[in-house]
Amino acid sequence: MQSFDNKNNGEDELIRLLLKRQSELNSLLEVTRAINKNTSTQVLIGMLEVILKSYLNVGKLRFMIEKFGSYYCVSKYGGEFESNSALFKSSNKLSKFKLPAKLSSHKDPVLAGYDYFIPIHHKSKLLAFALIGDYNTTDEMISNDLNFIQTIMNVIVVALENKKLFRERIEAERFQREMELAVEVQNMLIPIRLHKETGVEIGARYLPHQNIGGDYFDFIRLNDKEFMWCIADVSGKGISAALLMANFQASLRAWATVEDDLTNIVERLNQIVIKITKGEKFITLFLAKYNEETRRLNFINAGHNPSLLYSSGEAIQLKLGTTMIGAFETLPFINQGEIDVEPGSLIVNYTDGLLDYEPADVAIWNEDILMDILIANGELSPDKFNQKLLNELSSRVKSKQIDDITLLTLRIF
């Protein structure tokens, strides 16, 4: 009779085990289906809580997931809630465990309030962990249950990691497309060819540091006696900087056709940049207008590297101007420069990338050396001078370029 009862008990236990395994498989299937449907993180966590409460009789849960080097509680129920920092500090003592560990007799008072620690690792990295307590199960089933809890949590953590990677990929693709658009915009702004006229010869070089930078230059024929040029550097990168450059170019060309005075043009440009960027971006620029009849050059340097004027074996810096535009609602001062230009003079305009190298290179590459190179080679054509300057840079400085380099050189006859 006793043997018969033992047999029945064994069969009942086997049936309970099979039913429990079926329930576990169904739970995993439901979670997997939800993941395949790209269900939200909140819903996945909710499904986990239902499985632990209803199927496994887990009365207390703290589920922590790694983010930016720390761990944040994404699910908790049961008992008095601890602070996130207290949970992390206590559980950090258990990071070496790869398998579920018993906690009920642990010395740490926070950990002692739970029954088991369940880690989720990828290689050597602890991606997540759970603390479970008030856990009602049998000794025969504990090993199976803990393995199942670890498995289903692992599935959910992997799904959340994949969501994160997907978002990062989408963001990377969006950024790449933005950069491509910015390149397209900047290519429209940088002149493909510059004017070739009897009164002036122009040479330009543009060496981007990356796909898209903030450098800009332009040459504008105003009338049969006057022309204007500009070289500028917009703060920032990407499509926002490119669009600001496009707006700046359009505004400059518009005001250049109706306004004779450079001071008024710069004030207008400052107002436009402030209105667009709300003070979050700024532009440095050198703007000049030359009258071929009077041989008078007017210029304003708005926080830019000073352009260099070479004539008869000597060179000077064109520094007069104002501060960068876009930084102040009203420019604090504007000093317009004016100078007569001798026939054959060479004017070199450049952006800060030409001099922006490691501090260790300052002794071998600086404004004084630039002036010396100009004095020694000021009789070259604009294109040949630009190439000579870049050759000197390459031979003297071995550190990597860290910003865009733009050269705009003019020979005025």
Domains, the chain, in order of start with CATH, read 2-168 (3.30.450.40), 190-412 (3.60.40.10)
Distance CA 219, CA 192 (A): 11
List all residues 6 or more positions away from 361 whose beta carbon is below 8 Å from its beta carbon. Answer: 397, 399
For the chain, what is the largest distance between any 2 Cα atoms, rounded to a whole number of angstroms?
126
List all residues 6 or more positions away from 300 whose beta carbon is below 8 Å from its beta carbon. Answer: 262, 263, 266, 286, 287, 288, 320, 321, 322, 334, 335, 336, 337
Q: For the packed helices 2-36 and 139-189, what is the interaxial angle rounded to 10 degrees? A: 10
pLDDT surpasses 50 at 4: no
Model pTM? 0.59
Burial of 3 (0-12, 13-18, 19+ CB in 10 A): exposed
Average pLDDT for the chain: 84
Q: With beta carbons less than 8 A apart as the criterion, state whether 153 and 120 touch.
A: yes
Distance CA 411, CA 379 (A): 9
Instruction: Quote the tokens at residue 85.
Output: 């920092």
User: In terms of pLDDT, which residue wins out, 185 or 119?
Assistant: 119
pLDDT digits (tens, 9 = 90+) for 131-150: 999 987 877 778 888 888 88
Mean local confidence (pLDDT), 231-249? 81
pLDDT digits (tens, 9 = 90+) for 267-310: 999 999 999 888 888 999 999 999 999 999 999 999 999 999 99
Count Cα neighbours of 147 within 13 Å in the Cβ-side half-sphere: 7
